[in-house]
Amino acid sequence: MGWVTGISVYVVVWWVVLFAVLPWGVRTPAQPEPGMASSAPERPRILLKFAATTLVAAVVWLVIFGIVQSDLISFREMAKPH
């Protein structure tokens, strides 16, 4: 895996993990302020979610990198016509 491919895979993994992490711990206010959506979270804690996303994405990327580098699953062999 080249460095451009590695960065591209990490970015895609990071976004997928972000969408999985965003709903964690969301609580809506009992009495929303006027003009605010009733579904808006009280404390979104977005920086904490970005940090968790970065850590989880790094672990997932390392697993993907390990699989690709070890040829445990050979994507090049799968692509060859038989």
CA distance readout (Å), 53 to 4, 26, 33, 56: 21, 16, 29, 5
Tens digits of per-residue pLDDT, 21-36?
999 888 888 888 888 8
Q: Where are the domains of the chain?
A: 3-29+36-79
Segments in the chain below pLDDT 70: none
How large a percentage of the chain has pLDDT more than 90? 50
Give Dmax over CA atoms of the chain in angstroms.
64
What is the pTM for the complete model shown?
0.77
